[in-house]
Structure 1
């Protein structure tokens, strides 16, 4: 049996819940994110081949598909649960009901975490817990471990995970010598931008990822990411900074109902709700991810990731009441160019 042990630290508040809506570190949620990021790293345009390989590693319910070759266990070490992030962190903003906007010192956080920032319980930043991955199949464990690296350092967990919620990092690692070619799990005091570039390249090589690809789902072939040029003293300063930039851009383009749908669907406006024309697609997650990285000795940096892939099938048609339009990438392109003035950027082949 091969076993990998990770001691993890919560960098930004984690909004993950079990039964009774109590905060809980749910293994099923972590397993789901590992599978998502495994697919994103693979960037395979052949859906049947992708599904077959995924089921061979992580299991499936289809004919001939068995149990997962990889087991995941979570042990809470020092988990602190708090309630009402706004009060706990003494965050300040005002909400204008008529204009439907927030303003104030921490308006960026309010904009990004609007649905969870008041009233809810959460796992506080600074909490720690352990993740154990184990398998009798060394290759399967290496694949799962590599995908876990991507989940930790490119994304987040729980509610608002694409808007800075549930960012987690590794502070201690114990792995068997037989595990080779996996990314570095400990973000040291070096350059976070270069560290991400090197380890993302290693992760894609480990999984035999596709290069330029026509894969339709959200993936990392041809993706882009940015890391802030300057560091901040704490997580909420970093998240607030990128949140303000995002809020400013979105509010300057509020009247562009259909174009702004590229940031995720549905979109609620005062005039109505923009949603996919095809009723089979009720929601579409944003291709844009914001997160916070903590670099020992340097502070906190915001990061933004832009997925590749088709946003909506059928030509990206959306509607709001009787009005119809098409989602295009130009709005996201414009925001990315604007955000790039504040960060260091790279694209992934």
Structure 2
């Protein structure tokens, strides 16, 4: 059976919950969920008028409640004694990081809550992830295409997404140290390992992103269509020029903590300038405005590593808010505040 095994290392801590959400645990569902998310984000624009067909296509590759996935995910090479730590969030020493990861902190009082544990807090943690197909001799060609689709979605998850809780606020970033192929042509997969000088990192992200998206469209038999701009806010997050934007801050940081502390402070300072009603576009629930609605933040903060440098990415993915949420015009929310925040960085470059 064709397969690819990635030797992975944490870039930022992983908050992956199991049966006990306060304890970190490496399990395949978080990785499968990231693959499905990016599949929908990239393929979805071809099914704006037929989301049911998109769901059928997704299920044919990644499975659903009635059928197993055609892609098998397996974790291996896990540390024998996986150290779990809580992130030291000190409001006076690291206010930016504390702001981004506030929900992982413990609390006392009448209903005490322990702090969430994470993987890779003190030192990077290494493990392996294998993607393979299920045996199906009568449909081996389609199975191979499904595997290549999953591999290309994994590239997007690695560089523009993340894994586990708080991944939209910089947690859950990984990097590929090595990979091993079995019955797969290396020319058919993206370049996964990021080892570039400072000025070449944006070039790599821009060029590889274009190649990976084009390859996914070929695998799914889509046409590269020029969709109208602007699009109305879609029901779910789409990766398209009309609804998404990806920026890299070109000045590197010496550590992931420094990158997130910097961006967290900038983010907190900007949100404080906005009336509470206008902050809702950054995600719900929101204290003292709407604690009942749920909408993930359209702004994702991401850290990637190249050699010893750490770079911060800012990713905007627009979508429609629930009509019941207390936000102005939930069907077509005003993203000008997120766009204004993105434009506030002088050293940024758009890469997607």
TM range (shorter): 0.7 to 0.9
Give the Cα–Cα distance (whole angstroms) in 1 for the partners of residues 289 and 77 of structure 2: 40
Give the Cα–Cα distance (whole angstroms) in 2 for the partners of residues 57 and 318 of structure 1: 33
Provide, for residues 21-53 of structure 1, a one-character-per-residue CA deviation record: whole Å limited to 9, x for no partner: 431111112111111111112233231221121
> Match for residue 218 of structure 1?
237
Alignment of 1:244-259 (within 5 A): 244-253=265-274, 256-259=275-278
TM-score normalised over the length of structure 2 = 0.82
User: How many pairs are equivalent?
Assistant: 311
SS at match of 1:294: strand
Give the Cα–Cα distance (whole angstroms) in 1 for the partners of residues 178 and 12 of structure 2: 18
> Match for residue 116 of structure 1?
104
Quote how far apart the aligned CAs of 1:345 are.
Answer: 1.8
Alignment of 1:192-341 (within 5 A): 192-208=201-217, 211-212=226-227, 214=231, 215-222=234-241, 223-253=244-274, 256-268=275-287, 272-274=288-290, 282-297=293-308, 299-308=309-318, 310-312=319-321, 314=323, 318-319=325-326, 325-326=328-329, 327-338=333-344, 340-341=345-346
TM-score normalised over the length of structure 1 = 0.83
Contact 1:258 1:318 in 2 (8 A): no
> Match for residue 111 of structure 2?
none
Contact 1:182 1:202 in 2 (8 A): no
Q: Relative to 1, partners in 2 of residues 1:71 and 1:332: Cα closer, same or farther, differing over 3 Å?
A: same
Q: Give structure 2 stretches of 5+ with no counterpart.
A: 107-114, 134-139
SS at match of 1:132: strand
Q: Relative to 1, partners in 2 of residues 1:178 and 1:242: Cα closer, same or farther, differing over 3 Å?
A: same
> Match for residue 83 of structure 2?
81
Q: Relative to 1, partners in 2 of residues 1:140 and 1:325: Cα closer, same or farther, differing over 3 Å?
A: closer
Quote how far apart the aligned CAs of 1:234 are.
Answer: 0.9
Show structure 1 runs of 4+ deviating over 6 A: none
1:342 aligns with 2:347: yes
> Match for residue 18 of structure 1?
18
Contact 1:142 1:180 in 2 (8 A): no
Provide, for residues 46-105 of structure 1, a one-character-per-residue CA deviation record: whole Å limited to 9, x for no partner: 31221121111112235xxx321110001143374232211xxxx643xxxxxxxxxx44
Q: Root-mean-square deviation (CA), in Å?
A: 2.1
> Match for residue 279 of structure 1?
none
